């Protein structure tokens, strides 16, 4: 059964490790992005880049997912794509290169379709392989994220 808040909305209180894997209840985990996080574009880019620079692409994925949920309709594909790229980075960290490639492909297509500065993010993700070094891949994506407007 999923954790719920006092109003009955689903919430995830289970701790996670640095790679986003669930830990047993009561275990210490890394700090999580709150379920109700609804960042602005500026916040999402800044927080996502910060988490990537800290080697926490799963947390960056949660940031971009938070923006995806509250963004205007015409931006949702972009934020979903950035979240997918970050999940791909998480799969690289976990040693799942095949899963990483699938997510890089999906995320890159969405980011590149948005165009502008995000085309570089998509191209960088498309150039990654299942054997890419996770740290180098994370640094590459962090460097390609545009500065907040």
145/80 Cα distance (integer angstroms): 14
**pLDDT higher than threshold 70 for residue 101:** yes
In this prediction, residue 27 carries a pLDDT of 87
Domains of the chain by residue range: 41-144
Q: For 3-19, what is each residue's pLDDT tens digit? A: 665 666 655 677 888 88
Residues 59-96 as b/e (b if ≥16 CB within 10 A, e otherwise) read bbbbbbbbbbeebeeeeebbbbbbbbbbbbbbbbbeee
The pTM of the full predicted model, rounded to 2 decimals, is 0.88
Would you tell me which CATH number, out of the four given (1.20.950, 1.10.3450, 1.10.1240, 3.40.50), belongs to the domain 41-144?
1.10.3450
């Amino acid at each position: 059964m999923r954790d719920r808040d006092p109003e009955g909305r689903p919430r995830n209180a289970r701790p996670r490790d640095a790679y986003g894997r669930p830990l047993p209840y009561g275990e210490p985990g890394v700090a999580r992005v709150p379920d109700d996080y609804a960042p602005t574009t500026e916040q999402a880019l800044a927080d996502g880049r910060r988490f990537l620079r800290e080697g926490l692409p799963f947390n960056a994925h949660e940031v971009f997912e938070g923006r995806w949920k509250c963004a205007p309709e015409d931006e949702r594909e972009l934020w979903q794509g950035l979240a997918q790229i970050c999940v791909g980075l998480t799969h690289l960290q976990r040693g799942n290169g095949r899963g990483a490639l699938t997510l890089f492909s999906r995320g890159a297509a969405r980011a590149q379709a948005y165009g502008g500065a995000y085309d570089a993010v998509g191209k960088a993700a498309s150039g990654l392989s299942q054997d890419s070094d996770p740290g180098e891949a994370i640094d590459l994506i962090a460097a390609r994220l545009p500065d907040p407007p």
